[in-house]
Structure 1
Amino acid sequence: MDESANEGEGDEDREEITVQQRKEIEAIQRAIDEENERVGTAQSRQSTSREEEDEPKLSKGSEKNQSGSSQRGRFIDFAAAKKREVSKKVATKQKKRSTELLRLIDLDFSTPFSLLDLPPVSEYDMYIRKFGTANTKQAYVQCNEDNADRDTQTEDVEMCEKWMQHPAGYNGACGDPNLSQEARNKAASELNFDSQRLTSFLRSASQVMVVLLEEDQAERNSMRKLEPQKDTLSFSDGSLQLNTTLPFLYGRRVSLLHFSQVQRHTMMSVHMPTTKPSAVRLDSSTILCIWNIWEPSRPQKILVYESEVQCCCFSPGKATLVFAGTSVGSVALWDLREPASSHYRLKIGEEEWTFRLPTFSTDAVMPGLGHFSPVTSVEVVPSPVAEGLRPEVPLLASEEESSGLSFQLASLDESGALNFWVVVELPKGNEAGSPTDLGLRPGGKVKLLHSSFLLTAERASPRDAVKTGPLQTLLLKFHPTDSSHFFIGTNMGVVNHGTSHGLKAPPKFYRFREDEVRPVDVSSIHFSPFKPHLFLVGCEDGSIRLHAVSHEQPVAEWMNSTSGEPVVSLQWASTRPTVFCVLDAGSNLHIWDLLKNDSEPVMTERTAADRVTTMAVFGDSGQRNTYSGIALAHESGKIEMQYFSRNFTVSSPAEEDKLESLMTEPF
C-alpha cells in the first residue's frame, strides 16, 4: 500500500508539472502571437507608406521582389517575451506574499505613557545652568567638619632698621645704621634726588588739602554765620560781611561784583584806584579780589592791573581764568593756577600777601587787532560744552588741565568794535619770556589769539542823527543757547541784535513801546536763567523792559518803578523764575515778584547812610542746600552778603506759567 501511495503521489506531481509546463508554453505562445501581430502591423504600415511613395517607379518584377523581402524581414523576440513573463511572475508572487503577511500584521494597544516629562527646576539648578555658561567652573570640596584640629605655622618676620632725613642736606639723607662705612658711602652715591618734583607734589597736595579743609569748615560754620545781625534787611534771613578792611583795600570804591556760573560760591570784586595815599604802593592800580563767600575772612586770590578795569568775567568751566576789559582798550587775562612764588609778594604787618600780575594782555598785539576805545564788556562765548553739557559738579584742576581749554572770548568797546579771541593754553611756559608773544608774561601758559572782528555801531533809524555825539555801545550779551546771536545795549535806549556770521536775524532792534528813540543809556541787560528767550533791560531814565527774543517791542514795560532814578544794575534771581532785583543810582534796592505783583516792586530797601554802589545776585538750587541772596557793595568799600528769606528762595510751578502768560496777555 505504501508503494502504491507513493506512486500515486508521484503521478500527481508529474501531472502538476505537466500542467504548469503547459501553462508556460501557452503563455509563451500567446506572447509570440502578440509580438508577431505587433511587428506585422508595424511592417504593414511601413510597406504601405513605401508603396504609396514608390508606386509610379515600381514594375511587376519589383512587386514580386518586395513580397519576398517582406517575408524575410519578420522576426520573433523570445528574450523580451521571456523577461516580461518572468517579471509578471515575480510581481504575482510578491503580491501573494504581501496578502498572506497582511493577515498576520495588526495594530496593538500599549499602556499609556507621557511624551514630555519636564520636572520643575530648582533655584540652585537654575543658578548652576547659568553659572556654567559664564566660562567658569565650579569645584566641590569635601570638608571634614568633625575634625576641629587646625595647625598654623608662621615664620619670623625679618626686620631691619632704616633712617631718613628730609629735606636732604646731603647725599646721605637715608641709610642703615648696621651697614659698614663703605656700604654707606656706596648707597649714598647711588641715591637720586628730584627736589623740584617733590616740591611740585607738595604744593599741589597742600592746595587740595586747603580746599577740602575750607569746604568742610564752611559747611560746619555756614548756619552759625547766618545768624541775624543788626544790619540785616527786611527781605533777608541773615547776612555776612567780607573782610574789606585790609590795608591794600583802604579807601577804594567797589565798582563791580561778579559771580562764577559754575562755582556759585566764588565771587570777584573790582576795587577802583584810590586817591588816598596808603602804605601799599598800589594806589594807581585796580585791585581784583577773588572771594569764597563761605570764607569771608580774606580773599583767595588778589589780582592787580595798572589802569582802570571796567568789566570782568570768569572762565566758563572751573573758575581758573579771569578776564577783564580796561579803560585803555586792552583785554587782560589772569591764570589763577600759577604758583604764588612766581608773582609779587608784599609783607604787610605780620602777614604776607601775593599780588598777581596779568598772565596775558592785548596791549602788545599787532596794530589793528585790538581796541582803540575803552572796553565796555568782555563775555565768554557760550558753547554746548560750556553751557548745555556742563556737568553739575565742577572739574578738579587736574581734570580741567587734561581736558584742555577750548572756548572763545568776545570784547566790545564804546565805538562798536566787537573782537573775538581764542583762548589758547601752551603746553609749557617759558620763564625767559616769548620773543613773539610780547603780551605773554614770562612763565605764563595761557594767551589770547585774535579770531575775527565786527563793527556793530549802527543807528536804529536816520532820525537818530539829531542826537548830539557819536553812538556808543555799552553792553554785550550772548544768547544763552545760541552763541551766534549777540545783543548790544547802546546809548540810544535800544538793544541791537546781530549775528556773528553776518546773517540777518529779525528783529534788528529792541526798543520802547513808542516808536521814537530816547537818548538814554542802556545800563543793564540780563537773560532769564529759566526762560532763555526772555531778557530784562534797564535804562538810565529808570525804565525797565521785559523783552522776548522774537519781538521788537517789549512784552512788559515799567516806566516809573524807580521814581526816575537811573538803573545801575538789574539781575534775575537764581532760584525763582519770577523774581528779579533792581538797584538804582539813589541807593534803592527794588525786589520784584511778578507772581505776586506784575505792576510794581513787592519790596524796596533804601540805604542812606552808606550808599550802595553795585550789587550781584547769587544762589544755587543744590541737592543738599538751596540758598539765594544778593551781594551789596557800599560806597565805603564794605561788601555784605544778604541771604533771601524762604519766600524769595523756594520756587513754585506757577512761576514759569506766569512768564509765558506775559507774552500772550496784553500788558
Structure 2
Amino acid sequence: MNDLLSALDKENERLLQESRATSGRQRGRYENQRDDDSYRRDDKYNNRNDESDDDQPKVSRSKTLINFMGAKKRAMVSHAGSLIGKRAQDLLQMIELDTAEYDLFDMPPVKEYDLYIRSFGRSDTTQAYVQTNDDDIDREVQTDEIDVRQKWTQHPAEDYIGCGRGDGVKDIEDEEQSQVNKNLDLSRLSKFVQKAGQVISILLDEEKDVTKTDMNENKSNVGVSEGYTKLAQLPILKGRCVLFSQFAPSQPNMLITAYSKPAQEDEGNSITKKGIVCVWNTDDPSYPQRILACESQPTCCCFSPNRTTLAFAGMVDGSICVWDLREQSSMHRSVSYDNREHILRYPTFNTAGVMDVDNHHSPVTTLNPVSNYSINSADSGRNEDTGTGLSFQLISCEEQGVLNFWVVAEITSPDMAGSETDLGLSPGGKVKLIKSSAITLQHPPRYKRVGVSLRATELQLAPTDLNHYYVGTDSGYILHGLRFGTRAFPSSYSTGCDAPMDITTIDFSPFGHPCFLASSSDGFVHLYNVKTETPVMSWSSKIWNTEELQCVRWSRSRPCVFYVLDNNARLYTFDILEGDAMPVKIDTLSSQDRVVHLQFTSDTKSSTQGRLPQMLVSHESGQTEIHTVAKQYRDQQTLECDFLPSYLNRF
C-alpha cells in the first residue's frame, strides 16, 4: 500500500510539472503575439496619420484571426484530464482505505487531593486515615434469626456413625441417619463375610492332606471307589432324583444338580409343581448352599466358567434360566415345608420372557459355557479370573437341531421396580442373556432317510479349539461344525451302521488329546480320532451281556481310563494300557434301583491341589452318592499321557 501511494504521488507530481510547462509556453506565445499586434496597430496608426496628412481617402478592412494551436492544446489537456480521471476511478476500485482512530493525548482528570499531593511532594510525608462514626447507620429487619447447630465428625470414625452434634443433644434425624448407616454397615459386613467365607473354604480345601480320608465317608463295595458320602435327602426334595449334574471347573467342591419332578404331585403344595436346581458344597453335603426354583422342568445345568457366581439351566419348554448367586437372600422369598424354612431363589433372567423368535421351541438338551476345561487351562482360569464370572458366551442346543449362542451381559444400574423392555429380567436383576446368533443343523448329505427331521441329543465343544462343535443326532451320525468358518473336516462321523440310532453321549479327552468317546443306543461305544470320520475302536455291549447303555465318561485323572454305565446299574471300567478288548473291572453300583446319572469332577489336576477325584452316582430312588475314586484309577502311570496318541496313530 505504501508503494502504491508513493507511485501515485510521483505520477501526480509529474503531471503537475508538465501542466505548468505547457501553460508557461502558451503564456510566452501570447505575450509575443500581443507585442506583434501592438506593433501592427502602431503601423496602422502611423499609416492612418500619413494618409490623413496626404488627405487621401482609404477603405477600412476587418481581419479575424483563429488560434488553432490553442484549441489543440485545450483538446490535449482535456484528453489528459480524462485519462487521469479514468485512472483515478480504476485505482479507487482497487484500493480500500481503512479508518484508524487513536488518541493523540489522553489525560484523566486529576482529583484535588492528587493535585495537592503532587504539588506538595512525596518526600518526608506519611498518610494517615481516621474513621469517624458518620457512616455507622442502624437498620431494622423483620427476618427470623438464623438457626445454628454445631456438628462434629471424625475420620476414621470410631463407631458406625462417625459424626454427631457438638452440644451432645440427639434428635430424630440423627437417630434415623444412624440407623441407615448401621444397616449399610451390616450389609457391607454380610457381603464381606460371604466373600471371605468362600476364600477361606477354598484355602482350607487346598491345604487339606491328600492322603487323609474323610472319617464321615462310608465304605463302598464298588471297586473303583474308596468311600462315598451322600447328599442330604431333604423333605423338599422328596420323590425327586438328580437327572443332570456338573462340578464347577475351577472349584471341584462346588456341585450343581438338576432334579426331576416328583413322582406324585401334591395339589396342596405348590413346591411340588416347581422345577428344582440345587447348588452344593460337597464338603458340607447336609444342606445345599442355594435352592433354585423355576416354573418348568430343568433338563441340563451348568456354572459360569471362572467362579460359581452364576448358575444356568435349560428347560423342557425350551427356555433358559439364569440365577445370580450373589444376590442377597432378602431379594427372595422363604417358604415353609415340613416345619422348616427354605429360601427359594427364582431366576434372575428367564428367556421365556423374550421374543419367540429368539428362544428355543423344543427341550434344551445341552447347555455349556464357551470356555476351555482342558488340563492346560485349569490353572489359567484361576489366574485370569476377575471375580465377576461374566465376560463369556453360552451355547445351547435343543432337540430340533438348533444351536443358540448367548452373550452373558451384566447390568450396571439395576432397577428394583423391574424393566419395561426386558420382560425376562426380574426386579433388581443384574444379569441377562442376549442372543447373538443361531445355527440350524442339517442331516449329512449321505444320510438316506431324506425328509426326516433331525433330532439332536448332545452337544460338546472341543476343549483344545472352542471353534469346533460336535453334535450327536438320532441318525447315528455325529455332526461336526464351526462357530466361525464355512466348512469343517470331516463334516460328520459315522458309527459304521446304516440303521438310524441315537448318539446318547459324547465325551472328549480332558487331557488335550484329539479324540472323543461316543455311546449309541444300539449298545456300542466308539472311540474317534477327530481327523477321521470312522471310529478308531468300537466296543459292543453284547460281549458284556448287556444291550442298553446309559452313558460313557472319560476319567479326569487318567488319560487311558474311561467308564461305561448301562441301564442295569453296572459300571464298566476300561484301561487301554492293560488291554482294549474287555473292561478291566465291572462293578454293580446298585442292586435295588436304576442309576440314572453318572458324573466326574471337571478339574483334571484336583489331586495335586488338595482334592481327590470324585464320582457322582444318582439313583432313581433319589439317593445321590459322591464316591472318591480309588488310588488305582486316579494315579497316572509312567508315560501314560504319551501312550494314547501313539494308540490313536496305529489305526
TM-score (norm 2): 0.69
Aligned residue among 427, 430, 438 for 2:415: 430
User: Structure 1 388/629 Cα, relative in aligned 2: closer, same or farther at 3 Å?
Assistant: closer
Shift of 1:364: 1.8
Correspondence 1:536 to 2:523: no
Q: Which residue of 1 aligns with 2:642?
A: 657
Correspondence for 1:271: 259
Cα distance, 1:563 vs. partner? 3.6
Deviation, structure 1 residue 458: 2.0
Residue 492 in 1 paired to residue 475 in 2? yes
Is residue 505 of structure 2 the alignment partner of residue 521 of structure 1? no
Contact 2:401 2:440 in 1 (8 A): yes
1:118 corresponds in structure 2 to none
Tell me, yes or no, if the aligned pair for 1:556 and 1:662 is still in contact at 8 Å. Answer: no
Q: Which residue of 2 aligns with 1:67?
A: none
- On the 8 A contact 2:481/2:491 being kept in 1, the answer is yes
- In the superposition, relative to structure 1, how do residues 248 and 263 fare at CA in structure 2: closer, same or farther (>3 Å)? same
Alpha-carbon offset, residue 277 of structure 1? 4.3
Q: Does 1:453 align with 2:438?
A: yes
Quote how far apart the aligned CAs of 1:214 are. 4.8
How far apart in 2 are the matches of 1:342 and 1:268?
A: 21
Shift of 1:226: 4.8
Change in Cα spacing, 1:217 to 1:418, as seen in structure 2 (3 Å) is: closer
Cα distance, 1:387–1:195 mapped onto 2, change above 3 Å: farther
1:479 is aligned to 462
Amino acid at match of 1:568: Q
Q: Deviation of residue 548 (structure 1)?
A: 1.2
Residue aligning to 1:313: 302
Q: Deviations over 1:482-525 (max 9, x none)?
A: 2221111001111000112341111011112x3x4331111110
Within-5 A mapping of 1:142-157: none
1:294 matches 2:283: yes
Q: Contact 2:280–2:290 at 8 Å: present in 1 too?
A: yes
Offset at 1:614?
Answer: 0.6
Query: Among 626, 632, 640, which residue is 1:647 paired with?
Result: 632
Q: Hey, what's the Cα distance between the residues in 2 that align with 1:624 and 1:376?
A: 32
Deviation, structure 1 residue 320: 1.1
* Residue 185 in structure 1 maps to residue 174 in structure 2: no
Q: What pairs with 1:211-360 in structure 2 (closer than 5 Å)?
A: 211=198, 214=201, 223=212, 225-226=214-215, 229-244=218-233, 246-277=234-265, 280-348=269-337, 351-360=340-349
Does the CA-based 8 Å contact 2:371-2:466 persist in structure 1? yes
Take 1:210 and 1:588, find their aligned partners in 2: how far apart are those partners?
A: 39
Alpha-carbon distance, 1:196 to partner: 4.2
AA aligned to 1:203 is S
Q: Report which stretch shifted further, 199-208 or 229-238.
A: 229-238
8 Å CA contact 2:470, 2:480 repeated in 1: yes
Q: Letter of the 1:593 partner, please give it.
A: D
**Is the contact between residue 454 and residue 474 of structure 2 (CA under 8 Å) also seen in structure 1?**
yes
**1:221 Cα deviation after fit:** 10
Asked whether the 8 Å contact 2:318–2:360 carries over to 1, the reply is yes
SS at 2:642's partner residue? helix
Q: Is the 8 A contact 1:412 1:418 kept in 2?
A: yes
Partner of 1:595: 577
Paired with 2:313 and 2:513, the residues of 1 have a C-alpha distance of: 25
| 2:568 corresponds to | 586
- Paired with 2:425 and 2:584, the residues of 1 have a C-alpha distance of 50
User: What's the offset of the Cα at 1:660?
Assistant: 1.3
SS for the counterpart of 1:486 is strand
Q: Distance in 1 between matches of 2:171 and 2:315?
A: 59
Matched, 1:572 2:560: no
Q: Describe the SS at the equivalent of 1:225.
A: coil
1:203 aligned partner: 190
Amino acid at match of 1:608: S
Deviation of 1:232 (Å) = 3.8
Q: Indicate the SS of the match to 2:511.
A: coil
Give the C-alpha shift of residue 648 in structure 1.
Answer: 0.6
1:389 Cα deviation from its structure 2 partner: 8.3
Task: Give me the TM-score of the superposition, normalised by structure 1.
Answer: 0.67
1:552 corresponding residue in structure 2: 533
Shift, 1:250, TM fit: 0.6
Greater relative contact order (Cα < 8 A, sep 6+): 2
The counterpart of 2:356, out of the listed 361, 367, 379, is: 367
Which moved further from structure 2: 368-377 or 223-232?
Answer: 223-232
Identity %, equivalent residues: 33
Letter in 2 for 1:368: V
Q: 8 Å contact 2:463–2:512 — kept in the other structure?
A: no
Contact 1:555 1:663 in 2 (8 A): yes
Corresponding residue of 1:444: 429
Distance 2:458 2:618 in 1: 21
Measure the CA separation in 1 of the matches of 2:158 and 2:264: 51
5+ long unaligned stretches in structure 2? 1-156
Question: 1:575–1:628: 8 Å Cα contact kept in structure 2?
Answer: yes
Moved more, 427-436 or 230-239: 230-239
User: Is the Cα contact below 8 Å between 1:610 and 1:636 reproduced in 2?
Assistant: yes
Cα distance, 1:463 vs. partner? 1.5
Report the CA distance between 1:332 and its aligned residue: 1.1
Deviation at 1:358, TM superposition (A): 0.8
Q: 1:615 aligns with which of 580, 593, 598?
A: 598
Between the aligned partners of 2:638 and 2:473, the Cα distance in structure 1 is: 36
Q: Read off the aligned partner of 1:627 and give its amino acid letter.
A: L
CA drift at 1:268: 1.2
- Once the two structures are superposed, what CA deviation does each residue of 1:426-476 show, in whole Å capped at 9, x if it has no partner? 11221100000001111100001110111113245241339xx53211111
- Counting matched residue pairs gives 485
CA shift, 1:248, in A, is 0.5
Secondary structure at 1:553 match in 2:
coil
Counterparts of 2:361 and 2:500, CA distance in 1:
24
SS in 1 for 2:271: coil
Classify the secondary structure of the residue corresponding to 2:198.
Answer: helix
Q: Is the 8 A contact 1:378 1:409 kept in 2?
A: yes
Query: What is the aligned partner in structure 2 of residue 87 from structure 1?
Result: none
* Aligned residues of 1:565 and 1:586 also touching (Cα < 8 A): no
- Say whether the 8 Å CA contact 2:567–2:594 is kept in structure 1: no
CA contact (8 A) 2:473 2:479 kept: yes
Q: CA-to-partner distance for each residue in 1:183-228, whole Å, 9 max, x for gaps? A: 2117997785323421321211221354356557767799453566
Q: Is this contact kept in 2: 1:248–1:280, CA < 8 A?
A: no
Report the Cα distance in structure 1 between the residues aligned to 2:269 and 2:202, rounded to whole angstroms.
31
Residue identity opposite 1:357 in structure 2: Y
Gaps of 5+ in 1: 1-163, 176-180
Deviation (angstroms), 1:330 = 0.8
Task: Supply the RMSD in Å over aligned alpha carbons.
Answer: 3.1
- Spell out, residue by residue over 1:164-200, the C-alpha distance to the aligned partner (whole angstroms, 9 max, x if none): 99999xxxx998xxxxx98211799778532342132
CA distance in 1, matches of 2:222, 2:475: 35
**1:67-123, Cα deviation, whole Å (9 max, x unpaired):** xxxxxxxxxxxxxxxxxxxxxxxxxxxxxxxxxxxxxxxxxxxxxxxxxxxxxxxxx
Cα drift, residue 275 of structure 1: 3.5
1:510 paired with 2:498, answer no
CA 1:263–1:185: 2 relative to 1, 3 Å: same
Q: Aligned partners of 2:427, 2:513: CA distance in 1, in Å?
A: 41
CA distance in 2, matches of 1:658, 1:307: 46
Q: Secondary structure at the match of 1:435?
A: coil
Counterpart Cα distance in 1 of 2:404 and 2:417 = 29
Residues 409 and 542 of structure 1: CA distance in aligned 2, closer, same or farther (over 3 Å): same
SS in 2 for 1:237: strand
How far does the alpha carbon of each residue in 1:218-270 deviate from its partner, in whole angstroms, 9 at most, with x for none? 677994535663544222222111112x1111111221121111111111111
Distance in 2 separating the partners of 1:362 and 1:182: 56
Cα distance in structure 2, aligned partners of 1:357 and 1:409: 20
